[in-house]
Structure 1
């Protein structure tokens, strides 16, 4: 049965990141299945016609798109009241529009689903987060008000369970495999790729030091850093200081097609995050592009990548391990091809055509609740 679904989140364009990607792809997958989807997010300077999805934007207290800028709840209630959705699906358990949309749903008598996309440091340390959740009682109350809760990984489920006693279903992030898969994957033995926000927790300080070691061993090695963030000016300065301008390139504001082209041409994808990775959609994008992955073993990463089978995992903050793994994949073509082939077979289970049906099942179960 076709449903009217409101996807509510503070995270959508012009914000770039995993939650935005998830919401966009979920909306498209639901529409393809015949549902009517509206994305409800904050007012921002962005042309919503660019992606062809239906978006309603809510004014916030300080008229900004900053995550913690509180939305006007009365406007949110008015929008959802006029929309009359069958399901309100909130994304990100710790941001205002997401939590307030659950509150509004309860007031309007609309069933609500909440997806947690995030973890924090020591996400599985119950002695820290369980007491904290009671100190932050309103947050715990909002989260527990959702009729159903989803997490994108077991790590994300472990974290959200500190804030609720409700059952949490794990439905992972997805990728449109066909859109990333190259017709032919060429091996050049030198190209390394990072994709993500240029922020501390992504481990870019480690990546630059790692690449310095890689380039010392393999002069022709190249790293492309694709993304934007507050570390961009500092990264450019460090690259220049290290004298690596001919080997390390920072590319910002790329189109989706340009990003896919980088994925398909890269020989190694590296994800050196130091904390806070609940899953990592970029891992799926690399795997779908037949690009072998080197990643730090933390958070939900280990649920996606199996060491020595679908990628190489390294203990976090271990520059020597990162460099050795990257060099191995750049220098051993047959090993690289075996890893990428295994990963490509595995990533097919994360295709949105499969995952959207699991989310539909949650919607149907939620609508049957008293």
Structure 2
């Protein structure tokens, strides 16, 4: 039996801990002895624990950011530098404790752990999950070089992200993020959420769920919805992902833009995401920075089409005019036109919905994609015995 240690980088809820939870919940415990080490405490710990493996919160370890999701500000880069050495030394202690055969990093920002692995146990294999595009910058290049030096293989959640790392001479496979169809499926009942939010049965609901940050284009979405909502009183827009209790200037701008329009509903992060998607009709993904959108694949698995920016990540998850629509970056008029089109043409909506579900079943099924991930592990050990 091989020992595998999963290392996660954040205590916050989001796509990365959700994806890791799905993965570990499908781990074949007759073949792998798994443990999870997360370097931050927070709500994500409880989620990870639900995956069925022991979870430990590490002390004195820090991520080294350099992706489009984290961005890069001077203070963040300084924190990167301050946390690098403590992370390396602490990681060595945990590697000695767990003695893994495989270390699976849930992000490229954990390369110091990979370095520690190779120092303590050079034969231990390191797999890095590429869950976000690396920045084309000094910080991003550090991640690119250091991961290439210490990582044995990459699993990327989409093709775009895979092209931002240096996989030359390394194993690499694109395995799309996946969905548990037992949780996300067309049979989930969204009526209670509609009743809670005061949404009528014949209303057309556009949904955004994710972080309310500049790179996700949320303000542009709200502005566009304001332009079309008066002519379509049965349209509703739900924006879910606010923290509300944090000093976030961008959130304040979005709230100010939404103020006064009773067709816009603003929500904090919620646990009942499947029910929220079930209560909606169309998933919105107005990203201005390229990265994977878990909300698109969750919606597709529930027979909901999506409208998104034609940008790295979303444009691999939507077949234009078949499972939804893609609009060119900053072309907000096109986004508005697609919202009206999909919200007023029932036959078109039904066609897109059926196609979205079929596409999700083919590409985003957890059973298929977790198997591909575990087959990736086995490749290292099969290669050694040949």
- Same-fold status (TM-score > 0.5): yes
Alignment of 1:159-308 (within 5 A): 159-161=164-166, 164=168, 166-183=170-187, 188-228=202-242, 230=248, 231-240=250-259, 243-244=260-261, 246-255=262-271, 258-277=272-291, 279-308=292-321
8 Å CA contact 2:181, 2:301 repeated in 1? yes
Ranges in structure 1 where 5+ consecutive residues have no aligned partner: 122-127
Aligned twin of 1:125: none
Out of 110, 113, 116, the residue aligned to residue 130 of structure 2 is 116
Cα distance in 1, alignment partners of residues 282 and 62 from structure 2: 42
Aligned twin of 1:124: none
8 Å CA contact 1:273, 1:296 repeated in 2? yes
Ranges in structure 2 where 5+ consecutive residues have no aligned partner: 66-75, 191-200
Aligned twin of 1:59: 59
Aligned length, in residue pairs? 347
Superposed CA offset, 1:115-169 (max 9, x none): 2111157xxxxxx67xx69x946750333321112211110111113x7553522
Give the deviation of 1:85 after TM superposition. Answer: 1.7
1:217 is paired with a residue of what secondary structure? coil
The reply to whether residue 151 of structure 1 matches residue 156 of structure 2 is: yes
Give the deviation of 1:62 after TM superposition. Answer: 8.4
Distance 1:185 1:287, change over 3 A: farther
Aligned twin of 2:116: 104
8 Å CA contact 1:7, 1:91 repeated in 2? yes
Give the deviation of 1:296 after TM superposition. Answer: 0.7
Cα distance in 2, alignment partners of residues 352 and 10 from structure 1: 22
Distance 1:247 1:357, change over 3 A: same
Cα distance in 2, alignment partners of residues 154 and 62 from structure 1: 27
8 Å CA contact 1:120, 1:275 repeated in 2? no
8 Å CA contact 1:43, 1:60 repeated in 2? no
2:5 is paired with a residue of what secondary structure? strand
Give the deviation of 1:208 after TM superposition. Answer: 0.8
Scaled by the length of structure 2, what TM-score is found?
0.82
Alignment of 1:132-151 (within 5 A): 136=141, 139-151=144-156
Cα distance in 2, alignment partners of residues 43 and 311 from structure 1: 37
Cα distance in 2, alignment partners of residues 194 and 340 from structure 1: 17
Please, what is the CA RMSD of the aligned residues? Answer: 2.8
8 Å CA contact 2:38, 2:45 repeated in 1? no
1:43 is paired with a residue of what secondary structure? coil
8 Å CA contact 2:4, 2:35 repeated in 1? yes
Aligned twin of 1:39: 36
